Amino acid sequence: MSLRRAPNPNRNFPTYCPYCAGEDLYPNEETDFAWKCGECLRIFEVKFYGQDDPAVSHAPAKSTEEALRDSLARNGHAAALAGFSETDGNQRKVTHNA
C-alpha cells in the first residue's frame, strides 16, 4: 500500500480562499483537486482547464537593438546613432566621438 498519490499536473494552487479570502489553505483528500480552508473550514476545488487565445494579439516585441536605436533617435542622440553598425542585431558597435 502506498500512501503517496501520483502527481496531478492539473492541480492548481489557490492563494486565497474564494469564500473568506483566508490564506490557511491545505490540500484535502476529498478529491485530487480539493483544498480545505482552515479559517472557514470550507472544502473546494481549483482546476485549470486551459487558456483561450486573446481576441487581439500583441505586436511583436522589438529587439534590444531596435529598442535602443529608437530610444536614441527619440532623444536626439544622433552622434550615438551614427556609430551603429548595420548588423543582424547580435552585435553592435557604438563609437564615441569625444
Residues 26-55 vs Zn ion: string with x where CB under 5 A? Answer: -----------x-xx---------------
Q: From CA 5, how far away is CA 27, in angstroms rounded?
A: 12
Which residue carries 522589438 as its cell?
62
Nearest to Zn ion of 30, 39 (CB atom): 39
Helix-then-strand count for the chain, H and E: 2, 3
Q: Does 17 bind Zn ion (CB under 5 A)?
A: yes
Q: From CA 81, how far away is CA 98, in angstroms rounded?
A: 15
The site for Zn ion, by CB under 5 A, has a size of: 7
Residues that bind Zn ion (CB under 5 A): 17, 19-20, 22, 37, 39-40
